[in-house]
Amino acid sequence: MTVEHDVKSLDMATGGRYRIEWAEREMPVLRAIRERFAVEKPLAGMRVSACLHVTTETANLMHTLQMGGADIVLCASNPLSTQDDVAASLVAHYEIPVYAIKGEDNNTYYDHIRAALDFKPHITMDDGADLVSTIHKSRRELLEDIVGGTEETTTGVIRLRAMAKDGALNFPVIAVNDSNTKHLFDNRYGTGQSTIDGVVRATNVLLAGKNVVVAGYGWCSRGIASRAQGMGSNVIVTEIDPLRALEAVMDGFRVMPMDEAAPIGDIFITATGDINVLDERHFSKMKSGAIMANSGHFNVEINIPALAQMSSQEPRLVRPFVEEYMVNGRKLYLLGEGRLINLASAEGHPASVMDMSFANQALAAEYMVKNHSVLQSQVYVVPEDIDREIARLKLASMGINIDMLTAQQAAYLSQWEEGT
Ligand code: ADE
């Protein structure tokens, strides 16, 4: 009998399975964890509700949790990021209930979140904190069974820290995003490559010689800036933080306010986590043909309602994921409805970086099961020894050895008397 689900079509399952197995080749750390989990069953008896982007990499995480003894349900963490063939395969081949359809409307998105919560989780696994937020706003009866949660992304961690500060958070959550083996690689190299991939797949424009304006200089945006530069673009960075702006300058980028960048940019990419980074006053200055994409978690960084209002025509879908607006006789293009372009028109981060992110997720879930009774309703980071072990395993999987401190060097670092 097929497990409960709401996916596009189970007929897509075979293709999904091949792609899940393709991703697995690049996920050696998660594979090693899965092998241990299969023996030790650290998640036995745990119900896990996961709200993540439904991708080949996430499928490998779900399989790992399942091998660890967990009962799992998965829903989408964004209406436009689901890979329908993967959703089908998880249902058909892995017997995991999945609620996710690429392009689902907002109501369906929240119906799917509710379906995942009807599973009465012990552990929540979020990418953007929608499960935690829904539980605290409207499903408080579930709090009784929940031992803790994990959170994948910067935006979700910001929301959770705000909840904890207000005393509104009712169970411990581990901020996977804050692990070094997560944000230094996934946010930087993953977002860097997959965002460029998304823009190119959607538009097929040449990046060489283009003025690419990157909004923000956090880990994600610096990845995007560096990869766009590598493709030959003239990269302009906009920032509100003086320290980050200074870093961008010294990394060799032009830095200026968005008001100055708006008339010269050919391609605009936002990844700030904030709202209306591209707004009415910017649209009114942009060149005809300007392209806008967002790679931040929510579709609020580009003020789409204002863009629609300024447009003399209904947006025209001129290619998949490319909508044309007409502002004062100029054509402005919005990619992927302003949703994270790396997952909307491409496949998200490559498996090799998700390997480390999801190793953190699996080990954070195990840590939560072992330690929840001594944790407070706060936001925690993954313990440093776990973070370093993931780095060690990743290097080992690449066949790379590194030096070790000699006894003399270790002693030198732990003393304070010796100087010049
Ligand atoms: N976030 C960014 N890329 C992803 C991927 N490939 N799978 C799951 N979550 C992601």
The CA 408 to ligand 1 mean position distance, Å, reads 43
Minimum-distance ligand 1 atom for the alpha carbon of 340: 2
Rounded Cα gap, residues 335 and 236, in angstroms:
19
- Sign of torsion over alpha carbons 61, 4, 337, 127: negative
The CA 56 to ligand 1 mean position distance, Å, reads 9
The CA 410 to ligand 1 mean position distance, Å, reads 39
pLDDT for the residue numbered 19: 98
The CA 208 to ligand 1 mean position distance, Å, reads 27
Pocket test for ligand 1, best of 57, 126, 152 (most atoms within 8 A of CB): 57
The CA 141 to ligand 1 mean position distance, Å, reads 30
Which class would CATH give 10-182+349-397? alpha beta
Rounded Cα gap, residues 354 and 182, in angstroms:
8
Rounded Cα gap, residues 82 and 56, in angstroms:
10
The CA 168 to ligand 1 mean position distance, Å, reads 28
pLDDT for the residue numbered 417: 87
Residue 134 near residue 114, CB atoms below 8 Å: yes
| Residue of minimum CA distance from atom 9 in ligand 1 | 53
pLDDT for the residue numbered 1: 84
β-strand pairing of 322-327 with 330-335 = antiparallel
Residue 5 near residue 11, CB atoms below 8 Å: no
SS3 track for the chain:
CCCCEECCCHHHHHHHHHHHHHHHCCCHHHHHHHHHHHHHCCCCCCEEEEEECCCHHHHHHHHHHHHCCCEEEEEECCCCCCCHHHHHHHHHCCCCCEECCCCCCHHHHHHHHHHHHCCCCCEEEECCCHHHHHHHHHCHHHHHCCCEEEECCHHHHHHHHHHHHCCCCCCCEEEHHHCHHHHHHHHHHHHHHHHHHHHHHHHCCCCCCCEEEEECCCHHHHHHHHHHHHCCCEEEEECCCHHHHHHHHHCCCEECCHHHHCCCCCEEEECCCCCCCECHHHHCCCCCCCEEEECCCCCCCECHHHHHHHECCCCEEEECCEEEEEECCEEEEEEHHHCCHHHHCCCCCCHHHHHHHHHHHHHHHHHHHHHHHHCCCCEEECCHHHHHHHHHHHHHHCCCCCCCCCHHHHHHHCCCCCCC
Pocket test for ligand 1, best of 125, 340, 349 (most atoms within 8 A of CB): 349
Pocket test for ligand 1, best of 343, 358, 360 (most atoms within 8 A of CB): 343
What is the full per-residue pLDDT of the chain (420 aa) written as tens digits? 899 999 999 999 999 999 999 999 999 999 999 999 999 999 999 999 999 999 999 999 999 999 999 999 999 999 999 999 999 999 999 999 999 999 999 999 999 999 999 999 999 999 999 999 999 999 999 999 999 999 999 999 999 999 999 999 999 999 999 999 999 999 999 999 999 999 999 999 999 999 999 999 999 999 999 999 999 999 999 999 999 999 999 999 999 999 999 999 999 999 999 999 999 999 999 999 999 999 999 999 999 999 999 999 999 999 999 999 999 999 999 999 999 999 999 999 999 999 999 999 999 999 999 999 999 999 999 999 999 999 999 999 999 999 999 999 999 999 998 887
Contacts 24+ apart (CB under 8 A), 159-167: 159/128, 159/129, 159/132, 159/133, 160/129, 160/132, 160/379, 161/379, 163/132, 163/133, 163/136, 164/377, 164/378, 164/379
Minimum-distance ligand 1 atom for the alpha carbon of 194: 3
248 HSE (CA, 13 A, CB side): 29
Prediction pTM value: 0.96
Rounded Cα gap, residues 212 and 236, in angstroms:
6
Pocket test for ligand 1, best of 58, 80, 188 (most atoms within 8 A of CB): 58
The CA 385 to ligand 1 mean position distance, Å, reads 24
User: 272: closest CA among 340, 332, 331?
Assistant: 340
Rounded Cα gap, residues 272 and 407, in angstroms:
45
The CA 302 to ligand 1 mean position distance, Å, reads 21
For domain 189-344, which CATH number applies: 3.40.50.720, 3.40.50.300, 3.30.1360.30, 3.40.50.800?
Answer: 3.40.50.720
Pocket test for ligand 1, best of 19, 55, 60, 361 (most atoms within 8 A of CB): 55
Can you give the length of the chain in residues? 420
The CA 75 to ligand 1 mean position distance, Å, reads 14
In the chain, which segments carry CATH 3.40.50.720? 189-344
Residue 6 near residue 370, CB atoms below 8 Å: no
In the chain, which segments carry CATH 3.40.50.1480? 10-182+349-397
Minimum-distance ligand 1 atom for the alpha carbon of 349: 3
pLDDT for the residue numbered 100: 98
Ligand 1 lining (C-beta closer than 6 Å): 52-53, 55, 57-58, 190, 343, 348-349, 354
Rounded Cα gap, residues 28 and 50, in angstroms:
22
Rounded Cα gap, residues 216 and 301, in angstroms:
11
- Sign of torsion over alpha carbons 380, 384, 385, 391: positive
